[in-house]
Amino acid sequence: MALINQIRKAHVIRFYQNNDPTSDVWVDVLRIDNADLDFRTGGQDTNHVLKWADGWKGDNGPNTQRKTSKLTVTNPDDSTQSIDIDIIEKMKLTSSVNGQATNYAFKNGATNDLRKADVVTVHNTDVSSLDMSKPVDWDEYYPVLIAGQQDTSQSLQAEIPTHFKLLWAAVPTFDASMATEPPPSPPTVNGQLSDYVPKNEDVVNAIEQT
């Protein structure tokens, strides 16, 4: 059994059809709270903290540094059962060291050559021992999911990212020797392409074990 990823903290929140907590149509979503990123060039370690404003640890928002959209998840066997979940389109991360802010924009469409993912089949699994009326720590949810009884008649497919690349925006340059400030048409430096490799083995393992 794979161990839980110790450099990533996350929680699980339940979304219901029509936002009705009495509905028996629901999906549990894993949300990353913070994760360490280790850059191979130089080995610099940075910690990214995400605020979901969903009640987890008292964070009720709003989060004005993020733009979200709705993704509709539909039961493949019954089109009348569907659930809207929030996904991030844009977010701003601010450095705690120098206060520098970086805007991230994600392409969440079905076709994205800069993203690689594993497609896994998620079966309905009994996690009824957990109180899902509120967000649950992944460290608590994980062992219950592993041990839970599975109903293979209810399932859906999901993508788990294995690689995604970020293309940093082109940066305008300025030549101080030029007469105008700023120059009318400043040259640019092509954006750097960074490859992010999430460590999601524990998530894949939990799904495959169930």
Domain ranges of the chain: 8-162+200-209
Q: What percentage of the chain reaches a pLDDT higher than 90?
A: 29
113 falls in which pLDDT band (50, 70, 90)? confident
Which of the listed ranges 42-46, 103-107, 120-124 does the model predict with the highest average pLDDT?
120-124
Is pLDDT of 83 > 80? Answer: yes
CA distance 107 to 113: 10
- Identify the weakest region by mean pLDDT among 2-16, 18-32, 56-70, 175-189: 175-189
Tell me the pLDDT of the chain averaged across its residues: 79
- Comparing 1-5, 8-12, 77-81, 133-137, the range with the smallest average pLDDT is 1-5
Task: Quickly count: other Cβ atoms within 10 Å of residue 137's Cβ.
Answer: 14
17, pLDDT greater than 90: yes
Task: Judge whether residue 45 has pLDDT over 60.
Answer: yes
Residue 169 has pLDDT above 70, yes or no: no
105 or 71, which is more confident:
71
pLDDT for position 139: 92
Q: Give helix 201-209 / helix 138-147 axis angle, nearest 10°.
A: 30
CA 151 to chain centre: 26
Residue 58: pLDDT band (50, 70, 90) is confident
Is-contact 145 125, C-beta < 8 A? Answer: yes
Mean of pLDDT values over 172-197: 55
Mean pLDDT throughout 176-201?
59
Long-range pairs for 128-132: beta carbons < 8 A, 24 or more residues apart: 132/12, 132/14, 132/26, 132/28
Q: What's the whole-number mean pLDDT along residues 23-46?
A: 79
Lowest-confidence region among 8-17, 115-124, 127-136: 115-124
Q: Is residue 147 classed as helix, strand or coil in its secondary structure?
A: helix
Q: What is the pTM of this model?
A: 0.76
Band the pLDDT of 135: cuts 50, 70, 90.
very high
